[in-house]
Structure 1
Amino acid sequence: MNAHVRQPHIDQLEWRRSSYSSEEGGECVEVAIRPDTVHVRDSKDTARAALAVNPAAWTAFVGFTAL
């Protein structure tokens, strides 16, 4: 049996801003973590589509950027 989990609307997600982002502009990234998906968006342009990846891919990306 295939069960489809309905994702909340993008505006209903709890977005967290990167600790490296500042109010002065520049690179600003926000992340909303759900059990089966990690959503990533540009905090300066929240009307643009967010990127959605699975948690394993996000973990690999974060590990790579920490090198």
Structure 2
Amino acid sequence: MIDRLDNPKDFPGYLIWQAGKDWHRQLDSLLSSFDLTYIQFLVLINLDYLLKQKKYVSQKRYCGDYG
């Protein structure tokens, strides 16, 4: 039988959730100084990665055959 934990803070999942929320809050604060959202940041970071690969980039290569 599973032991009941009286305090949500005793659950590892709760602690991971809290840490994730804290990380996201800090990231949002940092990105807001650049007037960026998290999604915009992800797009830019991935674009930077693709451009550094020095290969031809086309969305057809990734999803055009599935449309």
TM-score, normalising length: structure 2: 0.29
**Larger strand proportion of the pair:** 1
User: Quick check: which has more Rg, 1 or 2?
Assistant: 2
Higher RCO, Cα 8 Å, sep 6+: 1
